[in-house]
Amino acid sequence: MPLEHDEPGDNVKRVIELNDDLLANNEALAQKNAEICKKHGIKTFDIVGAIGAGKTLILEKLVEKLAKKHKILVINGDVTLRIDADRIEKHGAKCIQINTGHECALNAYHVYNVLTKFDISKYDLLFIENVGNLICPSDFILGADIRIVIVSITEGEHVIRKHPLLFKESQIAIINKIDLLPHLDDISVERMKADALKINPKLHVVATSAKTGENLDELLSAMNLI
Protein backbone atom coordinates (compact mmCIF):
# COMPACT_ATOMS: atom_id res chain seq x y z
CA MET A 1 0.00 0.00 0.00
CA PRO A 2 1.44 3.47 -0.87
CA LEU A 3 1.86 5.75 2.18
CA GLU A 4 -0.06 9.03 2.32
CA HIS A 5 2.92 11.27 1.38
CA ASP A 6 4.53 8.91 -1.11
CA GLU A 7 5.14 9.93 -4.69
CA PRO A 8 3.64 7.43 -7.11
CA GLY A 9 6.07 4.51 -7.39
CA ASP A 10 7.98 5.20 -4.12
CA ASN A 11 6.48 2.31 -2.25
CA VAL A 12 7.29 -0.15 -5.02
CA LYS A 13 10.92 1.03 -5.01
CA ARG A 14 11.25 0.54 -1.23
CA VAL A 15 9.92 -2.99 -1.45
CA ILE A 16 12.40 -3.93 -4.18
CA GLU A 17 15.33 -2.53 -2.16
CA LEU A 18 14.26 -4.45 0.91
CA ASN A 19 14.14 -7.72 -1.04
CA ASP A 20 17.54 -7.08 -2.61
CA ASP A 21 19.04 -6.46 0.84
CA LEU A 22 17.50 -9.59 2.20
CA LEU A 23 18.89 -11.75 -0.60
CA ALA A 24 22.34 -10.10 -0.42
CA ASN A 25 22.48 -10.68 3.35
CA ASN A 26 21.37 -14.25 2.82
CA GLU A 27 24.22 -14.89 0.38
CA ALA A 28 26.77 -13.37 2.76
CA LEU A 29 25.50 -15.49 5.67
CA ALA A 30 25.39 -18.60 3.49
CA GLN A 31 29.07 -17.98 2.72
CA LYS A 32 29.76 -17.71 6.47
CA ASN A 33 27.87 -20.96 7.10
CA ALA A 34 30.01 -22.68 4.48
CA GLU A 35 33.21 -21.31 6.10
CA ILE A 36 32.13 -22.42 9.61
CA CYS A 37 31.32 -25.95 8.42
CA LYS A 38 34.55 -26.21 6.43
CA LYS A 39 36.56 -25.10 9.48
CA HIS A 40 34.96 -27.89 11.54
CA GLY A 41 35.30 -30.48 8.76
CA ILE A 42 31.51 -30.89 8.47
CA LYS A 43 30.02 -32.04 5.12
CA THR A 44 26.66 -30.36 4.56
CA PHE A 45 23.57 -31.34 2.58
CA ASP A 46 20.51 -29.14 2.06
CA ILE A 47 17.47 -31.28 1.28
CA VAL A 48 14.57 -29.55 -0.41
CA GLY A 49 11.39 -30.91 -1.95
CA ALA A 50 7.64 -30.96 -2.10
CA ILE A 51 5.48 -31.52 0.97
CA GLY A 52 5.34 -35.24 1.72
CA ALA A 53 7.82 -36.29 -1.02
CA GLY A 54 9.77 -38.33 1.54
CA LYS A 55 12.52 -36.01 2.85
CA THR A 56 12.18 -37.21 6.43
CA LEU A 57 11.86 -40.91 5.61
CA ILE A 58 14.96 -40.73 3.40
CA LEU A 59 16.85 -38.98 6.21
CA GLU A 60 15.70 -41.62 8.70
CA LYS A 61 17.09 -44.35 6.42
CA LEU A 62 20.33 -42.48 5.68
CA VAL A 63 20.96 -41.74 9.36
CA GLU A 64 20.29 -45.39 10.18
CA LYS A 65 22.99 -46.42 7.67
CA LEU A 66 25.50 -43.71 8.62
CA ALA A 67 25.17 -43.30 12.39
CA LYS A 68 27.80 -45.92 13.23
CA LYS A 69 30.50 -44.19 11.19
CA HIS A 70 29.51 -40.53 11.52
CA LYS A 71 28.43 -37.95 14.07
CA ILE A 72 25.34 -36.47 12.47
CA LEU A 73 23.57 -33.19 13.09
CA VAL A 74 20.21 -32.54 11.44
CA ILE A 75 18.38 -29.23 11.17
CA ASN A 76 14.67 -29.69 10.47
CA GLY A 77 12.72 -26.77 9.06
CA ASP A 78 8.97 -26.91 9.47
CA VAL A 79 6.26 -24.34 9.86
CA THR A 80 5.42 -25.74 13.29
CA LEU A 81 5.99 -28.75 15.63
CA ARG A 82 9.02 -31.08 15.83
CA ILE A 83 7.54 -34.29 14.44
CA ASP A 84 10.24 -34.80 11.78
CA ALA A 85 13.09 -34.03 14.19
CA ASP A 86 11.77 -36.65 16.64
CA ARG A 87 11.43 -39.22 13.84
CA ILE A 88 15.03 -38.79 12.70
CA GLU A 89 16.56 -38.47 16.17
CA LYS A 90 15.50 -42.04 16.98
CA HIS A 91 18.01 -43.30 14.40
CA GLY A 92 21.06 -41.77 16.06
CA ALA A 93 21.40 -38.15 14.96
CA LYS A 94 21.11 -34.95 16.98
CA CYS A 95 18.14 -33.03 15.52
CA ILE A 96 17.40 -29.36 15.96
CA GLN A 97 13.97 -28.18 14.88
CA ILE A 98 13.48 -24.70 13.48
CA ASN A 99 9.88 -23.54 13.25
CA THR A 100 9.60 -20.95 10.51
CA GLY A 101 6.04 -19.80 11.33
CA HIS A 102 4.67 -18.09 8.22
CA GLU A 103 7.94 -18.37 6.25
CA CYS A 104 7.92 -21.05 3.56
CA ALA A 105 11.66 -21.88 3.57
CA LEU A 106 14.69 -21.91 5.81
CA ASN A 107 17.17 -19.11 5.17
CA ALA A 108 20.88 -18.82 5.87
CA TYR A 109 20.25 -16.91 9.10
CA HIS A 110 18.33 -19.86 10.59
CA VAL A 111 21.30 -22.13 9.87
CA TYR A 112 23.83 -19.54 11.07
CA ASN A 113 22.03 -19.39 14.42
CA VAL A 114 22.38 -23.14 14.89
CA LEU A 115 26.03 -23.18 13.80
CA THR A 116 26.97 -20.37 16.18
CA LYS A 117 24.76 -21.17 19.21
CA PHE A 118 25.36 -24.91 19.50
CA ASP A 119 28.57 -26.81 20.06
CA ILE A 120 29.04 -28.32 16.61
CA SER A 121 32.63 -29.40 17.12
CA LYS A 122 31.91 -33.13 17.39
CA TYR A 123 29.85 -33.46 14.19
CA ASP A 124 31.12 -34.39 10.73
CA LEU A 125 27.82 -34.46 8.79
CA LEU A 126 25.04 -31.90 8.67
CA PHE A 127 21.73 -32.63 6.96
CA ILE A 128 19.28 -29.78 6.61
CA GLU A 129 15.68 -30.76 5.88
CA ASN A 130 14.06 -27.67 4.44
CA VAL A 131 10.37 -26.79 4.75
CA GLY A 132 8.31 -28.85 2.28
CA ASN A 133 8.06 -26.55 -0.72
CA LEU A 134 9.26 -26.74 -4.33
CA ILE A 135 9.41 -22.97 -4.89
CA CYS A 136 10.49 -20.82 -1.91
CA PRO A 137 13.84 -22.52 -1.07
CA SER A 138 15.21 -21.47 -4.45
CA ASP A 139 15.46 -17.89 -3.13
CA PHE A 140 17.61 -18.85 -0.14
CA ILE A 141 20.86 -20.74 -0.44
CA LEU A 142 22.03 -21.98 2.97
CA GLY A 143 25.74 -22.51 2.37
CA ALA A 144 25.56 -26.31 2.09
CA ASP A 145 28.08 -28.25 -0.01
CA ILE A 146 25.36 -30.14 -1.86
CA ARG A 147 21.71 -29.38 -2.47
CA ILE A 148 19.42 -32.37 -2.99
CA VAL A 149 15.94 -31.89 -4.45
CA ILE A 150 13.30 -34.56 -3.88
CA VAL A 151 10.04 -35.23 -5.67
CA SER A 152 7.95 -38.37 -5.63
CA ILE A 153 6.03 -40.11 -8.38
CA THR A 154 2.70 -39.47 -6.65
CA GLU A 155 3.06 -35.75 -7.39
CA GLY A 156 2.53 -36.53 -11.08
CA GLU A 157 4.93 -37.07 -13.97
CA HIS A 158 5.19 -33.36 -14.83
CA VAL A 159 6.19 -32.13 -11.35
CA ILE A 160 9.82 -31.61 -12.41
CA ARG A 161 9.04 -29.66 -15.57
CA LYS A 162 6.63 -27.48 -13.60
CA HIS A 163 9.24 -26.58 -10.96
CA PRO A 164 12.54 -26.21 -12.82
CA LEU A 165 14.27 -23.72 -10.49
CA LEU A 166 15.34 -26.07 -7.70
CA PHE A 167 16.51 -28.62 -10.28
CA LYS A 168 18.74 -25.96 -11.86
CA GLU A 169 20.35 -25.21 -8.49
CA SER A 170 20.78 -28.73 -7.12
CA GLN A 171 23.53 -31.30 -7.57
CA ILE A 172 21.39 -34.39 -6.84
CA ALA A 173 17.74 -35.07 -7.67
CA ILE A 174 15.72 -37.88 -6.09
CA ILE A 175 12.57 -39.34 -7.63
CA ASN A 176 11.07 -41.15 -4.64
CA LYS A 177 8.29 -43.67 -3.92
CA ILE A 178 9.11 -45.93 -6.89
CA ASP A 179 7.62 -48.84 -4.91
CA LEU A 180 4.24 -47.30 -5.82
CA LEU A 181 4.84 -47.56 -9.59
CA PRO A 182 2.59 -50.63 -9.98
CA HIS A 183 -0.32 -48.53 -8.70
CA LEU A 184 0.19 -45.62 -11.12
CA ASP A 185 -0.36 -46.26 -14.82
CA ASP A 186 0.58 -42.79 -16.11
CA ILE A 187 4.10 -42.37 -14.72
CA SER A 188 7.41 -43.03 -16.46
CA VAL A 189 10.44 -42.64 -14.17
CA GLU A 190 12.65 -42.56 -17.28
CA ARG A 191 10.74 -39.56 -18.64
CA MET A 192 10.97 -37.84 -15.24
CA LYS A 193 14.74 -38.46 -15.21
CA ALA A 194 14.99 -37.05 -18.74
CA ASP A 195 13.05 -33.93 -17.66
CA ALA A 196 15.47 -33.35 -14.76
CA LEU A 197 18.54 -33.80 -16.97
CA LYS A 198 17.14 -31.48 -19.62
CA ILE A 199 16.85 -28.75 -16.98
CA ASN A 200 20.30 -29.49 -15.52
CA PRO A 201 22.53 -31.94 -17.42
CA LYS A 202 25.00 -32.05 -14.48
CA LEU A 203 22.41 -33.45 -12.05
CA HIS A 204 22.90 -36.88 -10.54
CA VAL A 205 19.36 -38.31 -10.67
CA VAL A 206 18.46 -41.27 -8.43
CA ALA A 207 15.09 -43.05 -8.35
CA THR A 208 14.49 -44.40 -4.84
CA SER A 209 12.04 -46.00 -2.52
CA ALA A 210 12.64 -44.74 0.99
CA LYS A 211 10.09 -47.31 2.10
CA THR A 212 11.85 -50.42 0.73
CA GLY A 213 15.37 -48.93 0.70
CA GLU A 214 15.74 -49.45 -3.06
CA ASN A 215 18.67 -47.47 -4.53
CA LEU A 216 19.58 -45.74 -1.26
CA ASP A 217 23.15 -47.01 -1.67
CA GLU A 218 23.26 -45.36 -5.10
CA LEU A 219 22.12 -42.17 -3.37
CA LEU A 220 24.84 -42.47 -0.72
CA SER A 221 27.37 -42.96 -3.47
CA ALA A 222 26.13 -39.82 -5.28
CA MET A 223 26.55 -38.00 -1.95
CA ASN A 224 30.12 -39.33 -1.71
CA LEU A 225 29.29 -41.02 1.60
CA ILE A 226 30.21 -44.57 0.58
Residues 120-139 touching ligand GTP, rule: CB under 6 A, are 132
Site string for Mg ion, 81-100 (x = CB under 5 A): ---x----------------
Which H or E element spans position 88?
helix 83-89
Instruction: Note whether 56 binds Mg ion by CB under 5 A.
Output: yes
Strand residue runs (E) in 89-217: 94-99, 125-129, 146-152, 172-176, 204-207
Cα distance between residue 151 and residue 207, in whole Å: 10
Which of 72, 108, 210, 219 binds ligand GTP (CB under 6 A)? It is 210
Instruction: Note whether 54 binds ligand GTP by CB under 6 A.
Output: yes
Instruction: Note whether 52 binds ligand GTP by CB under 6 A.
Output: yes
Nearer to Mg ion (CB atom), residue 29 or residue 175: 175
Which of 18, 51, 79, 226 binds ligand GTP (CB under 6 A)? It is 51
Nearer to ligand GTP (CB atom), residue 49 or residue 143: 49
Provide, rounded to whole angstroms, the least separation between the CB of residue 33 and ligand GTP. Answer: 21
Instruction: Note whether 55 binds Mg ion by CB under 5 A.
Output: yes
Stretch that binds Mg ion, among 24-32, 54-62, 108-116, 197-205 (CB under 5 A): 54-62
Q: What does the DSSP assignment read for 97-127?
A: EEE-TT-SS--HHHHHHHHHHS--TT-SEEE
Please, which contacts does 165-170 make with residues 24 or more away whose CB atoms are closer than 8 Å? 165/135, 165/138, 166/48, 166/49, 166/134, 166/135, 166/137, 166/138, 167/196, 167/199, 167/200, 167/203, 168/199, 168/200, 169/138, 169/141, 170/48, 170/200, 170/203
Residues 68-87 touching ligand GTP, rule: CB under 6 A, are 84
Residues forming contacts to Mg ion in the complex (CB under 5 A) are: 55-56, 84
Residues forming contacts to ligand GTP in the complex (CB under 6 A) are: 49, 51-57, 84, 132, 176-177, 179-180, 209-211
